[in-house]
Amino acid sequence: MAPDVWVHRFVDDTHGWTLAVATHAAPGSGKLSLGGFRIAPNERMRSEGFTPEREAIALAMGMEEKVRWSRLLGIGGPLATRDLSRIVGGKCVLAPTPEARVGQPHDRALLDFAIASFQAIERESGIFLVTGQDLGHGMLHDGSGSSLAYLNARYRGSVVADTSGPTAEGNVQVLLGMLRAAEVPLAQATVLLIGCGNIGMHMVERLYPMGVTLLVCESRAERRAELAARGIRAEGPERKLALLTEPIDAVVVNAAGGSLDAETIAACAANPRLRVICGSENLAMPDPAGADVLRRARQSYCPTELGGMMGYLTAVEEYLAKADGVAFDVGTVMQAAAGLEPSASAATARQRAGGFRETFEEVVEGMTRA
């Protein structure tokens, strides 16, 4: 655990719910703690060693990395860049019971528990939680609206902007820059998308018209059928390692977590054509040593915290616009995402020119010091 992460834990003994909020905002600091509100999916809750506290800490540390990248690269909407010194990473993770998941009979009670907990943190700790879209949200059981709208109406720190579009645009810009530096023309590029939820579909909409050949690894049969109807080959997760043996130029990870496990890293490193690995997936690489395996294979891996920064920047821009009493314009964030293309291209080119002696992070840090 990083020494500057604080964890606030709330338990509803009656229902068996646990909420953990991890943040880099010290008590009394008045900092803005940025990070989505995750209602932990079943597959994450079943993963080895899961607790809401551990998940929140790891995700908060990843969010702090996103904040650091945006500071280093100077990327963000006008309000976020103005207030970057106030912003730190955080995350809210709620472990529900089955009957309280969004869309189930007790979903409102679960959200009320979360709202009361968020308000207690602000009241007692002197920090400001800014939280929004993440896994586990959707329409309420009674059909009255979305879980995010319910939160937004009752808690000032809840934002409702769809962060998937700007996050995907950040992904696209990073990918385009890395491919350009690797001298892979878009019309000749083959890209494997691992995970094709909202972010992945936005990427499909952007990349397909550019002539990029897309392969998709996706767990949901209905999404695979949707992609197939568009002429895009999509296979289930049991075929992931086989897909990684095919002639691909780039891998983009946007699944629920852990996509870049040891087996996947080994398969990437063994693919002689693969040059680029990026994405915005949280907790994508369980063992950070995997980045060095890819580097030794002369493959550029852009940390997913860098690739995913536009999501948090969208949330903070909405929050600050509301606080300033001005209209929130998601277009300013989309425009800011364009700055990732030249940065990703320059970093990839420098890493390749240096014979992969430096990690991607070291290259970016060196560029910003120059």
SS3 assignment for 84-144: HHHEEEEEEEEECCHHHCCCCCCHHHHHHHHHHHHHHHHHHHCCEEEECCCCCCCECCCCC
**In angstroms, rounded to a whole number, what is the distance separating the alpha carbons of residues 236 and 279?**
19
pLDDT of 95:
97
Length of the chain: 370
Which residue is listed with tokens 């912003």?
87
pLDDT tens series, the chain, 370 aa: 345 899 999 999 999 999 999 999 999 999 999 999 999 999 889 988 999 999 999 999 989 998 999 998 999 999 999 999 999 999 999 999 999 999 999 999 999 999 999 999 999 999 999 998 888 999 999 999 999 999 999 999 999 988 899 999 999 999 999 999 999 999 999 999 999 999 999 999 999 999 999 999 999 999 999 999 999 999 999 999 999 999 999 999 999 889 999 999 999 999 999 999 999 998 899 999 999 999 999 999 999 999 999 988 999 999 999 999 999 999 999 999 999 999 999 999 999 999 999 999 999 999 887 6
Q: Are strands 6-12 and 17-23 parallel, antiparallel or unpaired?
A: antiparallel
pLDDT of 256:
84
The crossing angle, in degrees rounded to 10, of helices 164-181 and 340-353 is 30
pTM of the model: 0.85
Domains of the chain plus CATH, in order, are 6-160 (3.40.50.10860), 165-307+341-369 (3.40.50.720)
Query: Residue 313: CB partners within 8 Å, gap ≥ 6?
Result: 70, 75, 76, 77, 80, 166, 333, 336
DSSP SS3 for 350: helix
DSSP SS3 for 257: coil
**In angstroms, rounded to a whole number, what is the distance separating the alpha carbons of residues 355 and 334?**
33
pLDDT of 368:
80
pLDDT of 13:
95
Q: How many C-beta atoms surround the C-beta of residue 2 within 10 A?
A: 10
Q: How many C-beta atoms surround the C-beta of residue 16 within 10 A?
A: 11
Which residue is listed with tokens 């730190």?
88
pLDDT of 1:
39
**In angstroms, rounded to a whole number, what is the distance separating the alpha carbons of residues 191 and 216?**
8
Measure the CA angle with vertex 4, ends 162 and 278; round to 5°: 45
Which residue is listed with tokens 């810009």?
173
pLDDT of 370:
62
Beta bridge partners of 10: 19
